[in-house]
Amino acid sequence: MIARWFHRRGWSDLVIGLPYVWLLIFFLLPFLIVVGMSFATRTSTAPPFGFGGENPLVNLAGYARLFSDTLYIRAFVTSLTNAAGAMVLCLLIGYPMALGLTRVDRGWRNILLMLVILPFWTSFLLRVYAWMGLMGSNSWFNKVLTGAWNWLVPQAWDVANVPLMHSNFAVVLVMVYTYLPFMILPLYANLERLDPTLDEAAMDLGARPFAVFRDVTLPQSIPGIIAGGMLVFIPAAGELVIPTLVGDSSAPMIGRVISDEFSSARDWPMAAAVAVALLILMVGPMMIYSRFEARAQARERSE
Amino acid sequence: MKRSNTFLLTMLGFGFAFFYVPILSMIVYSFNGSRLATVWGGFSTKWYGTLLSNAQIGKALWLSLEIALLSSTIATILGTMAGIALARFTKFRGRTLFSGLVTAPLIMPEVITGISSLIFFILLGQYLGWPAARGFTTVTLAHITFSMVFVTTIVQSRMLSADRSIEEAAMDLGARPWQVLRDVTLPVISPAILSGWLLAFTISMDDVVITNFTTGPGTTTLPILIWSKVKLGVTPDINALATLIVLTVGLCVLAAGVMMNRAERRAERDRRLAYRANE
Rounded to an integer, what distance in angstroms lies between the CA atom of residue A236 and that of residue A82? 8
For residues B201 and B73, what is the distance between their CA atoms, to the nearest angstrom? Answer: 8
Fold for the domain defined by B34-236: MetI-like fold (1.10.3720)
Count of domains for chain A: 1
Residues 6+ away with beta carbon under 8 Å from B22: A127, A130, A131, A133, A134, A177
Q: How many Å lie between the alpha carbon of A65 and the closest alpha carbon of chain B?
A: 19
pLDDT in tens, chain A (303 residues): 788 888 888 888 999 999 999 999 999 999 999 999 999 888 887 788 877 667 777 888 889 999 999 999 999 999 999 999 999 999 999 999 999 999 888 888 888 998 898 888 888 999 999 999 888 878 888 888 888 888 888 887 888 888 888 899 999 999 999 999 999 999 999 999 888 888 888 888 888 888 888 888 899 999 899 989 999 999 999 999 999 999 988 889 999 999 999 988 889 999 999 999 999 988 888 888 878 777 777 776 666
Find chain B residues with C-beta within 8 A of A23's C-beta: 82, 98, 101-102, 105, 145, 148-149
Preferred mutation among A16, A165, A293 to probe B, highest tally of B CBs within 10 A: A16
Q: For B98-122, how does the pLDDT look when each residue is reduced to its tens digit (9 = 90+)?
A: 999 998 898 889 999 999 999 999 9
B172-210: pLDDT as tens digits: 998 888 889 899 999 989 989 999 999 999 999 999 999
In the predicted model, is pLDDT for residue B129 greater than 50? yes
pLDDT confidence of residue B1: 47
CATH of the domain at A237: 1.10.3720.10
pLDDT of residue B169: 92
Residues 6+ apart with CB under 8 A from B11: A93, A96, A97, A100
Q: In the prediction, which pLDDT does B83 show?
A: 95
Average pLDDT of the residues in B35-59:
85
CA distance A54 to chain B (A): 20
Classify residue A9: in a domain, yes or no.
Answer: no
Q: Which residues of A touch B14 (CB under 8 A)?
A: 93
| Cα dihedral B90→A17→B139→B83 (10° resolution) | -20
As a whole-number percent, the residues of chain B with pLDDT over 70 amount to 98
Rg of the Cα atoms in chain A:
25
pLDDT of residue B3: 61
pLDDT confidence band for B279 (50 / 70 / 90): low
Q: Taking Cα atoms as reference points, which of B121, B79, B96 lies closest to residue B215?
A: B121
Of B8, B112, B253, the CB nearest to A96: B8
Question: Given this model, what pLDDT does residue A53 score?
Answer: 67
Taking residue A24's Cβ as centre, other Cβ atoms within 10 Å add up to 15
What is the pLDDT, as a whole number, of residue A170?
94
Mutant choice from B107, B155, B161, B268 vs A, greatest count of A C-beta within 10 A: B107
Residue A59 within a domain: no
pLDDT at residue B22 in the model: 93
Instruction: Determine the structural domain holding residue A123 and report its residue range.
Output: 69-302
Residues of B in contact with A121 (CB under 8 A): 202, 249-250, 253
8 Å CB contact of B245 and A126: yes
Residue A253, domain member (yes or no): yes
Number of other residues whose CB lies within 10 A of the CB of residue A98? 29
Q: Which of A5-14, B142-151, B155-164, B261-270 has the lowest mean pLDDT?
A: B261-270
Tell me how close the Cα of B67 comes to any Cα of chain A, in angstroms.
16
Specify whether the CB–CB gap between A282 and A213 falls below 8 A.
no
Q: Is A57 domain-assigned?
A: no
pLDDT over threshold 80, residue B232: yes
The sign of the CA dihedral A232, A238, A244, A248 is positive
Bridge partners, residue A42, by sequence: A49
CB pair distance less than 8 Å for A136 and B38: yes
Which residues pair with residue B21 across a beta bridge? none
Q: Which of A93, A100, A114 sits opposite B9 (nearest CB)?
A: A100
Residue B148: pLDDT band with limits 50, 70, 90: very high
With residue A146 as reference, give the H or E element that holds it.
helix A140-152
CB contact (8 A) between residue B120 and residue A129:
no
Residues of A in contact with B11 (CB under 8 A): 93, 96-97, 100
Q: Which residue of B has its CA nearest to A3?
A: B178
pLDDT at B116: 95
Distance CA(A9)–CA(A43), nearest Å, equals: 49
Q: Best interface-test mutation with B: which of A11, A14, A23 has the largest number of B CBs within 10 A?
A: A23
Contacts of A237 (CB under 8 A, 6+ apart): A79, A80, A82, A83, A254, A278, A281, A282, B109
Cα–Cα distance measured from residue A289 to residue A291, given in angstroms and rounded to the nearest whole number = 5
Is A171 part of any domain? yes
pLDDT score for A153 = 83
d(CA A270, CA A71) in angstroms, rounded, equals: 12
